[in-house]
């Protein structure tokens, strides 16, 4: 009996080695049981000459984050977000009771040290004190005076003043909060020109220069905006290999500080870039840190994991995982690999 079992196992192994094919894997029962879903598809295209887009952030050219330099609780925050403020105006007060006591103690110590200095100088002049004693008294008086100066400086830190005229942009701290050194209390932005800050690929910098005007696109808005390049960083970031640019928004723009925009960059597409594959951004999704897309394979949706590139106009570059002409499903939320589909209106 045992000999027969060994013979059967050997025959199975021999069949596999000779390229024998086993039965086809069973289809996912859950996918087969679900009704076919109507989907829209778009063919994978290629990027032509045009504008690539990079994300940017609108911010005020003048911006100050006022932080605490002492450990104290917040007593006053007289201004709300959006309110105007003049240069030098008080924008926050911190609890200073302990600091005032420290100043008084330092002043008392300085007064006593100064009296000792005067007394020892008088004694040294009459020969009743040594030069060494006089020098030590002078040193104690100088140290006590420095302590008074430090205590008064610390007391001054309890009041935060606006460094320039502007508006209150943020209030990270609240009344009663205990803040420590370096903790933001209030943010002031100037009333001057807003600017857009963006990081662009190093290869795109050659096509840009200070003074160029770049079109901007804002999600949810149809009106166009432009910004003039004010500065281009002289060096690229050693990690991302991207270069920071700053562009001034045109006067009269309705954009606000903190808004997200897309900047169109004029980048000539060379011969080696003419076959860049693009798909609509709505065809891609993320799962577990990976980017995927669904391809219409007849009446079945097939999952593909892809390598995503940058924006190309209204589309997104796909560097790997798809081929030109394949049909990707738009808005694939809820689809699973192997689901049955019906292409609405035929291929697009």
pLDDT along the chain (348 residues), means of 10: 41 38 41 76 70 83 91 93 92 92 92 92 88 92 94 91 92 93 93 87 86 83 80 90 90 79 70 64 88 92 88 75 89 90 68
- The hierarchical CATH code for the domain 52-61+192-268 is 2.40.30.170
* Residue limits of CATH 1.10.287 in the chain: 96-157
* Residue limits of CATH 2.40.50.100 in the chain: 63-91+161-191
Q: CA torsion 168→174→178→180, rounded to 10°?
A: -30
With a CB cutoff of 8 Å and minimum separation 6, the contacts of 109 are 144, 147, 148
Taking each helix axis from N to C end, the angle separating 131-156 and 97-125, rounded to the nearest 10 degrees, works out to 160
Going by C-alpha positions, the residue among 299, 282, 279, 295 that lies closest to residue 343 is: 299
Q: Residue 172 and residue 111: Cα distance in Å, rounded?
A: 41
Going by C-alpha positions, the residue among 245, 242, 234, 309 that lies closest to residue 278 is: 309
* Inter-residue contact 166 to 191 (CB < 8 Å): yes
Q: Residue 225 and residue 250: Cα distance in Å, rounded?
A: 8
- How confident is the model at residue 308, as a pLDDT? 84
Rounded to whole angstroms, what are the CA distances from 257 to 179, 276, 299?
26, 34, 48
CATH architecture of 30-48+273-343: Beta Barrel (2.40)
- How confident is the model at residue 67, as a pLDDT? 95
Query: Residue 262: what are its φ and ψ, rounded to 5°?
Result: -115, 125
Q: Does domain 63-91+161-191 have CATH number 3.90.170.10?
A: no
CATH architecture of 96-157: Orthogonal Bundle (1.10)
- How confident is the model at residue 183, as a pLDDT? 94
Report pTM. Answer: 0.52
């Amino acid at each position: 009996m045992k000999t027969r079992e060994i013979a059967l196992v050997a025959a199975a192994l021999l069949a596999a080695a000779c390229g024998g094919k086993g039965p086809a894997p069973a289809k996912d029962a859950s996918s087969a049981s679900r009704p076919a879903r109507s989907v829209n598809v778009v063919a994978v295209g290629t990027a032509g000459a045009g504008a690539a887009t990079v994300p940017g952030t609108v911010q005020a050219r003048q911006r100050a984050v006022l932080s605490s330099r002492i450990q104290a609780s917040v007593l006053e925050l007289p201004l709300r977000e959006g309110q105007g403020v003049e240069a030098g105006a008080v924008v926050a007060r911190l609890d200073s009771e302990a600091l005032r006591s420290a100043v008084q103690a330092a002043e008392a110590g300085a007064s006593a040290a100064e009296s000792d200095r005067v007394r020892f100088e008088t004694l040294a002049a009459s020969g009743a004190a040594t030069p060494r004693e006089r020098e030590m008294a002078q040193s104690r008086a100088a140290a006590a005076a420095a302590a008074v100066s430090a205590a008064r400086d610390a007391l001054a830190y309890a009041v935060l003043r606006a460094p320039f005229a502007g508006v209150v942009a943020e209030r990270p701290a609240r009344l009663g909060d205990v803040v420590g050194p370096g903790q933001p209390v209030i943010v002031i932005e100037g009333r001057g020109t807003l600017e857009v800050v963006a990081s662009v690929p190093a290869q795109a910098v050659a096509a840009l220069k200070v003074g160029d005007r770049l079109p901007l696109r804002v999600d949810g808005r149809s009106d166009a905006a432009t910004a003039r390049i004010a500065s281009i960083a002289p060096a690229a970031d050693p990690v991302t290999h991207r270069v920071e640019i700053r562009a001034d928004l045109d006067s009269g723009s309705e954009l606000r500080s903190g808004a997200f925009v897309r900047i169109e960059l004029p980048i000539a597409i060379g011969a080696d870039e003419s076959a860049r594959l693009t798909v609509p951004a709505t065809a891609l999704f993320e799962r577990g840190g990976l980017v995927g897309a669904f391809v219409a394979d007849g009446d079945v949706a097939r999952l593909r994991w892809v390598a995503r590139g940058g924006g190309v106009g209204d589309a997104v570059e796909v560097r790997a995982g798809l081929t030109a002409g394949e049909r990707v499903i738009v808005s694939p939320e809820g689809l699973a690999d192997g689901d049955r589909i019906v292409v609405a209106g035929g291929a697009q």
